[in-house]
Chain A
Amino acid sequence: MNTTRVARWLLLSIMALMLGAGWWAPCPYDRQFRDQIAAPPSQTHLLGTDSVGRDRFSRLLYGGRISLFLVPAAATLSVGIALAIALGAALAGGWRESAATALIDLFLSMPWLFLLLAVRALLPLNAAPWLSVGTTFALLGLLGWPGPARVLLAAAHVQLDTAYVLRARASGCGPLRLAIIHIAPNLAPVAWAQFWTTAPAYLLAEVNLALLGLGIAEPLPSWGSLLRELQSLSSISHQPWILVPLGVLIVTLGCSQVAWKTGDYPT
């Protein structure tokens, strides 16, 4: 059977499960079964319960909604901004390119954690959880573009020296059309590589940010908060089923890459 088709079906199934968590999940994500704390998998709790007795399977389903949509959105935002800046700087050249490079270096050097803290502090304490988590991921997306931008800028320079660009210019193609129609599609593999590297980085960033109070507020689940349980080796050895969220994440990312034929790698 065609691998792409298998991957697409698998991905669609995962997304359908997550989106339909309200129907599929055996119980609400915040319901506590206080007589079954850290219970192993059973018929009632497919992936067991966590340290306060919440059903892990339900939390995996509901958590996927945040991770499957907000994380790719933030990564898309970063890579989109990076692509726009890289193309603009490469085509403009001269002092404009130097300014863009300087801006990239500036952004790479700044301690943006404090901006995250400051913006989150501006939100009211009783703000809805989706607002606080959305703000965090939006900021990650807005601030995460410099790394991809540098790589895309170098790749754009390589494209500028190719024959097809020379021919397009000679045919009178304007810079905007040159950037969007001719160069951008050829940068797609590099952009996708940046995307597939940035997306898991943002998901994992949520784990670290939770230590500073910038993560997803309890009791709302996310895959990042589920991965936090892996930080203890002893937990993994005694409760190996807590690796399932990691497995689901790996399968989802892998299927996405196969399913979308991004040119990131051959299928």
Chain B
Amino acid sequence: MMRLFRLLILLSALQPAVAQWGGELRFCLRSEPRSLHPDKVDDDASELVRYLTGGVLVRVNRLTQQAEPSLAVAWKVLDGGRAIRFQLREGVRFSDGTPFTAADVVFTLETLVDPAIHSPEAEPFRDVHALAEAPCTVMVRFPGTLAGGVRLFDQVAILSRRSPLKEAATLGPFHVSEHKPGAYIRLERNPYYWRMHAGRRLPYLDAVRLDIQQNRDAELLRFRRGEIHLISRLGPDQFDELARDRTGDVKDAGITLENEFLWFNMSPAAPLPAYEKAWFNARDFRLAISHAIHRDDLCRVVYHGHAAASAGPFPSTNLFWFNRNLQPHAADAVLARRLLTGAGFRFQGDKLLDHQGHAVEFSVVTSAGNQSRERMAALIEQDLAAIGIRLRIVTLDFPSLIERVSKTSAYESCLLGLNNVDLDPDGQMNLWLSSSTHHAWNPMQKSPATPWEAEIDQLMREQASAPTPAQRKTLFDRVQQIVADQAPILYLVNPSALVAFSSRLRNVQPSVMNPRLVWNIDELYLAGATAK
């Protein structure tokens, strides 16, 4: 009898969990979405709403990082990368019942490049020509070769040309049913969503409620009480606390694509003394600073071990583009001193002086209210004090910081982070091109100021039109090597994705890419839920 009982237990454990239909998933947004129009998305909250509601031709799988069919069942890259023909899924409807056709794709691409909207996704699609060859076939022609163009469609939510609801009609798993500004947004299942399971339309969930909650402590309180089902962005302190108390499932999903880095102002137009500009333009000075910084301490102290020292623009979790030959600059005060001495600096007691006798002191600006950055700055300040450099930490509110960094150039060095949206280096084109306003250390150059910047410009342009991914990788590996050698940007750490979710929430597969926990929203379900 006991043997039979044990066998029954074993069999029930081996059976796959049966997904349950229904229920409302609840979690928090950190800020009010600035726009619910899919083409006007320029903040994290709006982007999440677009992800949950918008239907796209191609979806990049957040785990495998590969492009997968979505509204397009197949595609073919033609004409050496200048055109893509998409075969669309048949019989799909928008959330209001309006049929989806190739004409909607054409309409979407035309709307996207409207100059009045300033859509961040518009740039690659300027001068693009889209043609509906058949109701379910669309040809998209680019003005030049655009390597990796397919993945761009992951960010383009298709709009309806004919629906009276305009952009409110969606092709994704949900549509916006309620929006109370400042309080919450409620999404309800799209009754015409194209994905099916066991003869029923996905998603399993009936609704998703996004509460607008800026206060992280309040969000944590609500998670503990079971009022929300997940937190996709935990701080290291909160992560350790939840792990200690064993509240829900807490996971370190791995190193994200985010990057924290520091750079020096090398703009000739910067209102800085000439001797300071000379410091920042000296390669050995920058390398010395980099080698003085204890990246391992930054990971351990600031992120409680939930981070990795950064070697370049992409971390190891960017499976294809990461340059495995690169290593983070090791903390080596002796090497740092040697580099400084070689660059003409000298030590007087515990102070570092340049060849003109100026004490090496400069400031670093960073965003106020960001605890991790403030702590990193404090650690870096001590690391640099060990090599005789006095660092002044200046925290600024974000608009003031943006003004200094991007408009007036009135800063010496800056500690900031980047949230890599794109796996592909084309997403960082504007960072590396010397003529760009985003070329952090010396923007808007009429011609490259240094040979290595000229080389980077050329390499980035080449890789953008290279015929094969392998060739692109070789070219971008070289860019990463130049950046490591010249150190215009000192890459510091890549933080981990720290997440927590309720044990009731099933099919969760945390990813290091946004949205970390709900990237497969149509597969998530709540145990114990009942369908409406």
Contact = CB atoms under 8 A, between A and B. Distances in A.
Q: Do chains A and B touch in the complex (CB under 8 A)?
A: yes
A32 interface: yes
Contacts of B363: 125-126
Interface string A121-155: 10001100100000000000000000000000000
B393 interface: yes
Interface string B389-428: 0001111110010000000001110000000000000000
B237 to A, nearest CB: 7
Interface stretch (B279-287, B350-358, B377-385): B377-385
A217 B217 contact: no
Contacts of B396: 213
Given A53-B301, A125-B365, A234-B238, A213 B378 contact: no
A231 B217 contact: yes
Nearest to A210: B368
Contact of B400 (A51, A121, A215): A121
Given A34-B301, A233-B217, A234-B217, A217 B368 contact: no
Contact of A52 (B368, B379, B392, B395): B379
A231 B381 CA distance: 25
B297 A34 contact: yes
A129 B297 CA distance: 26
B220 A218 contact: no
A32 B298 CA distance: 13
B361 to A, nearest CB: 6
B224 to A, nearest CB: 9
Contacts of A52: 301-302, 375, 378-379
B374 interface: yes
Interface in B207-248: 217, 220-221, 237-238, 241
B397 A213 contact: yes
A213 B411 CA distance: 15
Nearest to B361: A126
Taking residues whose C-beta sits less than 8 angstroms from the other chain, chain A's interface range is 20 to 34
Interface string A19-49: 0000000000011101001000000000000
Given A211-B368, A213-B368, A218 B217 contact: no
A212 B393 contact: no
B394 A125 contact: yes
A219 B301 contact: no
Given A211-B368, A218-B374, A218-B377, A126 B362 contact: yes
A218 B301 CA distance: 17
Nearest to A211: B369
A51 B302 CA distance: 8
B23 to A, nearest CB: 29
Nearest to A38: B237
Interface residues on B, range: 20 to 34
A218 B368 contact: no
A31 B217 CA distance: 29
A117 interface: yes
Contacts of A167: none
A238 B297 contact: no
Nearest to A127: B392
Nearest to A228: B371
A45 to B, nearest CB: 16
A232 interface: yes
B411 A212 contact: no
Contacts of A233: 217, 221
Contact of A219 (B220, B221, B393): B393
A235 interface: yes
A231 B220 CA distance: 13
A117 B400 contact: yes
Nearest to A31: B382
Contact of B412 (A34, A125, A215): A125
Given A30-B381, A117-B397, A213-B400, 19 more contacts: A32-B378, A52-B301, A52-B302, A52-B379, A125-B410, A125-B411, A125-B412, A126-B362, A126-B392, A211-B368, A213-B395, A215-B368, A217-B392, A218-B377, A218-B378, A218-B393, A218-B395, A233-B221, A234-B237
Of all A-B residue pairs in the complex, the 5 with the closest CB atoms, nearest first, are: A213-B368, A125-B363, A213-B396, A213-B395, A212-B397
26 contacts: A30-B381, A31-B382, A32-B382, A51-B371, A52-B302, A52-B375, A53-B301, A117-B397, A121-B400, A126-B361, A126-B362, A126-B363, A126-B412, A129-B392, A210-B368, A210-B395, A212-B369, A213-B397, A217-B394, A218-B377, A218-B393, A219-B378, A219-B381, A232-B217, A233-B221, A234-B217
